[in-house]
Amino acid sequence: MSPAFEKHLNLLDYALSSLWRRKMKNLGIITVFAGVIFLVASFQILTSSLTSIAETMLAKTPEIVVQKMSAGRQESIPLSYLNRLDGVFGIRAAVPRIWGYYFDETSGANYTVMGVERNAMPEGQRLEMVIDGSYPDAEPGGAALGREVAANMNLAGRRTFSLFRPDLSLKTLRITGIFAESTNLLTGDLLVTSLDDARDLFAIPDNLATDLLVYVTNPNEISTIAKKIAARLPDTRVLTRPQILKTYKVVFGWRSGFASICLLAALAAFAILAWDKASGLSVEEKREIGILKVLGWQTTDILTLRYWESLTVAGLAFLIGCTAAYFHVLFLEGSLFRPVLLGWSVIHPSLKILPVFAAGDVLLIFTLSVLPYLAATVIPAWRCSTISPDAAVK
């Protein structure tokens, strides 16, 4: 064992003994620090996991979505717009779709009602694989429900239910199937009907649809074709698959939102607390430093000792905080952040997600927590190490 290594091992031994002598104070600091890191790490793991889920689950989202805009709002798009896309080279298919929101007044829940001609959709013929039952287009009046919708309606074995049209007349629908649980993060609030039934429920005229889904022959040409569509239909908004996928990176981005700012404020508050605690030396601590200096310890030795103390506290708090955060997201479904994430949503799928904790996330949390702590304690450590021994012992 080299002398330098042996020296640091001995200093670490002394630092640990010193920490243990003031165990109540130091355990308190580790607990609070680990708690702050736990909150930051939980938030980071949750948002990283949701971003990753969005990327994989929405990989097959429509290549181009065309919405009609009027006075800054989206409105129904005329089906005659399909004819104006005829001359755009590279379009494989353009499919009208009707969808919207239905507010269930009895439960306060919002359902997403969707009607689409499945034969025109990619993978449309295989939709039965994700439905426990059948797709609702065999005969009029059918509906496939998301699991959360079915649970919220409290059907108690009934196979039919009624929804209000805009004129408050009732439209009765028959349940043909329930979406598979594994697709719950996509279909939880869905109520899928045939195109005609969705049109009837929302009283949308035959010549209108909610939006158009455009599929292209060559995926490399998505942005070029989107520009051509925007030029031909200037009163529309054209969204592309890359834009849709980018949305989730932005909405869950680290800098986005109020929650991350609150958590960073908590970290800053802890760094100030650490500074305050480290700079206020007790008489006993001053005497200890004085005695060490009388015994021949150099200023660098005391600085190294303080460095080991800070690193032990911060390192342990970091490991405990990150482990607890991983556990929190994996087994408790991020329950602390659920109220912030889900808000007043009446129906929402369970957040049974597998945490994604990349090396970049670990580094980010380490940089935001451990480094500020070490920085906050280094100047007080230098100040205490430069105390003259006779003044300290007196």
Partner 1 sequence: MRPTHSLVLIILFLLILDTALYAHVRFQQETVQRPAAHLNDIVTAGLGLTDLCLATEARYTRHPAVSDPIAPFMDHLGAMEHFPTGSFWAPPQD
The residue behind tokens 């181009």 is: 64
> Using the rule CB under 8 A, is 370 a contact of partner 1?
no
- Smallest separation (angstroms) from partner 1 to the CB of 114: 6
Which of 136, 188, 290, 380 is the binder for partner 1 (CB under 8 A)?
188
What six digits make up the tokens of 255?
């800098």
For tokens 């450590």, the residue is 381
E strands, 71-217, where? 73-75, 77-78, 91-104, 109-116, 131-133, 142-145, 160-164, 170-179, 190-193, 208-209, 211-216
Q: How far is the CB of 192 from partner 1 (least distance, A)?
A: 7
Torsion of CA 124, 127, 133, 139, to 10 degrees: -10
Rounded to the nearest whole angstrom, what is the least distance from the CB of residue 164 to partner 1 in the complex?
Answer: 18
Least separation in angstroms between CB 390 and partner 1: 30
Tell me which residues in 207-226 interact with partner 1 (CB under 8 A): 211, 213
- 82 is a contact residue toward partner 1 (CB under 8 A): no
- Please enumerate in sequence order all residues whose Cβ is within 8 A of that of 190, keeping only pairs 6 or more positions apart, or say none: 111, 112, 114, 144, 145, 146, 149, 179
With binding defined as CB under 8 A, does residue 315 bind partner 1?
yes
* Residue 391 CB, nearest approach to partner 1 (Å): 30
Which residues does residue 68 pair with via DSSP β-bridges, in sequence order?
Answer: 75, 236
Which residue of 93, 231, 319, 332 would you call a contact of partner 1, by CB under 8 A?
A: 319
Site for partner 1 in 293-312 (CB under 8 A): 312
Q: In 3D, which of 31, 46, 47 has the Cα closest to residue 326?
A: 46
358-367 b/e (C-beta count within 10 Å ≥ 16 → b): eeebeebbbe
Q: Among residue numbers 322 through 341, which ones bind partner 1 (CB under 8 A)?
A: 322-323, 326-327, 330, 339-341
Which is closer to partner 1, CB of 260 or CB of 279?
Answer: 260
| 103 lies in the site for partner 1, by CB under 8 A | no
Q: Is 142 in the site for partner 1 (CB under 8 A)?
A: no
Site for partner 1 in 83-102 (CB under 8 A): 95, 97, 101
CB of 383 to partner 1, least distance (A): 26
Q: With binding defined as CB under 8 A, does residue 138 bind partner 1?
A: no
Paired tokens of 296: 């021949």
H-helix or E-strand spanning residue 66 = strand 64-70
